[in-house]
C-alpha cells in the first residue's frame, strides 16, 4: 500500500500528465527521420528518455522555486495539486528528485555528444539552460517575461529538430517547420496558465505576458498565435515543404476554439481546468496527428 501511495505522490509531483508535451514532439522528430530513411532505435530511445527526464527535472525545479517564492498560483487547477505545497514531500526531496532526473539526462547528452559532436552540445546547452533557469535564479526566465518564449523554443523546434538531427545527423527544414506549431500550442498552455494566475503573479512580481500587457492582450496573443500555427501548416503543405497529410491537423480547430472560449472567461477561475485541459489536449493531439500523418505517408510510399 505504501508503494502505491508514494507512486501516486511522485506521479503528481512530477506533473506526469504534462510530460506528453515533450514525449510527443520527440516521437514526431523520430518519425520524420524514419520517413527520410534513417532511423536508429537506440539513439532515438536514449534521446527521448533524456528529453523526458530533463522536462521532469524542469517541473521539479519550477515547483521548488515557486514554493520558495510563495508563488503558489492555482496549482490545484493545473492537474497537479502539488505534494510539495500540501506537505506530502519536502523541498529537499524535490531537489533529490531533480538530480535523479537530471544526472542520467546529462549522461545521455554527453554520450550523444561523443557520438555526434558539437551540434548536440549546443542543443543540449540550450535545453539545459531553459530547464535550470525557467524559474530559478539568477535568470528566472518566467519572472522576466520570456517564459512563454522559452516554452515555444524548448517544446517545439528544439525537440523535433533535435531528435531528427541526432538520428540523421543532417539538416532539414521539415522538422523545424513542424516543430513551430507544436511550440506555439505548448507556449499557449503556459499562456493560459499565466492568464488565470494573473493576480498571484502580480503579487510575486512574476512578469509574465499577461502581467506586462494585460489578460485581454494575452487572450489576443493566444488567438492569433493559434491561427498562425494552423496557417503555417496549410502554407507549408501547399508548397510541399511538409506532407499534405499534415492537413488533417485542421480537425483539431474545434479544440483550439474551446481553449480560446474558456480562456476568454479568465475572471471565472472555474474555467481554469477546462482551458488547461483543452490546451494540453491540443498540443498533444497535434503532435500525435502529425506523427500519424507521417507514418501514413511512409506506408503509402511503400
CATH number, domain at 174? Answer: 1.10.600
Asked if residue 68 has pLDDT above 80, the reply is no
299 lies in a domain? no
Q: Please indicate whether residue 93 or residue 1 has the higher confidence score (pLDDT).
A: 93
- Read off the C-alpha cell for 156: 517545439
Asked if residue 25 has pLDDT above 90, the reply is yes
**Sequence-ordered alpha helix ranges (H) in 117-144:** 118-133
pTM confidence score:
0.92
Q: How many domains does the chain divide into? A: 1
298 lies in a domain? no
300 lies in a domain? no
Say if CB 283 and CB 21 are below 8 A apart.
yes
Q: What count of other Cβ atoms lies within 10 Å of the Cβ of residue 42?
A: 7
Confidence band, pLDDT 50/70/90 cuts, at residue 141? confident
The set of long-range contacts for 41-49, using a CB threshold of 8 Å and a minimum separation of 24, is 43/112, 43/115, 43/166, 43/167, 44/163, 44/167, 46/108, 46/111, 46/112, 47/108, 47/112, 47/162, 47/163, 47/166, 47/167, 48/23, 48/163, 49/104, 49/105, 49/108
pLDDT attached to residue 1: 58
Provide CB contacts within 8 A for 273, sequence distance 6+.
77, 79
pLDDT attached to residue 166: 96
Q: Is 106 helix (H, G, I), strand (E, B) or coil?
A: helix
Lowest mean pLDDT among 66-70, 86-90, 107-111, 211-215: 66-70
Q: Please indicate whether residue 214 or residue 81 has the higher confidence score (pLDDT).
A: 214
Confidence band, pLDDT 50/70/90 cuts, at residue 292? very high
187 lies in a domain? yes
237 lies in a domain? yes
Percent of the chain with pLDDT over 90: 64
Confidence band, pLDDT 50/70/90 cuts, at residue 272? very high
70: left (phi over 0), alpha (psi -120 to 50) or beta: left
For the chain, what is the mean pLDDT? Answer: 89
Q: What domain range is 62 assigned to?
A: 2-293
301 lies in a domain? no
Percent of the chain with pLDDT over 70: 95
Question: CA 45, CA 30: separation in Å to the nearest integer?
Answer: 9
Asked if residue 77 has pLDDT above 70, the reply is no
15 lies in a domain? yes
Say if CB 7 and CB 88 are below 8 A apart.
no
194 lies in a domain? yes
Amino acid at each position: 500500500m505504501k508503494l502505491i501511495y508514494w507512486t501516486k505522490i511522485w506521479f503528481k509531483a512530477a506533473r506526469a500528465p504534462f510530460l506528453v508535451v515533450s514525449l510527443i514532439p520527440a516521437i514526431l522528430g523520430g518519425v520524420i527521420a524514419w520517413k527520410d530513411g534513417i532511423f536508429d532505435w537506440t539513439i532515438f530511445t536514449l534521446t527521448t528518455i533524456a528529453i523526458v527526464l530533463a522536462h521532469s527535472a524542469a517541473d521539479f525545479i519550477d515547483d521548488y522555486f515557486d514554493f520558495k517564492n510563495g508563488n503558489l498560483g492555482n496549482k490545484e487547477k493545473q492537474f497537479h495539486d502539488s505534494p510539495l505545497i500540501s506537505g506530502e514531500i519536502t523541498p529537499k526531496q524535490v531537489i533529490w528528485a531533480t538530480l535523479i532526473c537530471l544526472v542520467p539526462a546529462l549522461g545521455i547528452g554527453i554520450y550523444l555528444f561523443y557520438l555526434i559532436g558539437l551540434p548536440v552540445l549546443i542543443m543540449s546547452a540550450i535545453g539545459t539552460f531553459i530547464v535550470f533557469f525557467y524559474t530559478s535564479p539568477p535568470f528566472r526566465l518566467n519572472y522576466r517575461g520570456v517564459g512563454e518564449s522559452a516554452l515555444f523554443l524548448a517544446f517545439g523546434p528544439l525537440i523535433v529538430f533535435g531528435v531528427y538531427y541526432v538520428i540523421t545527423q543532417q539538416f532539414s527544414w521539415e522538422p523545424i517547420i513542424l516543430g513551430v506549431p507544436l511550440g506555439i500550442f505548448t507556449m499557449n498552455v503556459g499562456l493560459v496558465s499565466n492568464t488565470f494566475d494573473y493576480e498571484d503573479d502580480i503579487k510575486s512580481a512574476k512578469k509574465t505576458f499577461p502581467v506586462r500587457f494585460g489578460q485581454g492582450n494575452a487572450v489576443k496573443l493566444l488567438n492569433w498565435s493559434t491561427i498562425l500555427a494552423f496557417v503555417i501548416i496549410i502554407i507549408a503543405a501547399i508548397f510541399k515543404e511538409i506532407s499534405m497529410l499534415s492537413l488533417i491537423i485542421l480537425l483539431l480547430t474545434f479544440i483550439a476554439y474551446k481553449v480560446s472560449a474558456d480562456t476568454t472567461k479568465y475572471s471565472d477561475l472555474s474555467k481554469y481546468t477546462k482551458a488547461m485541459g483543452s490546451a494540453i489536449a491540443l498540443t498533444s493531439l497535434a503532435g500525435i496527428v502529425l506523427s500519424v500523418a507521417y507514418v501514413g505517408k511512409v506506408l503509402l510510399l511503400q
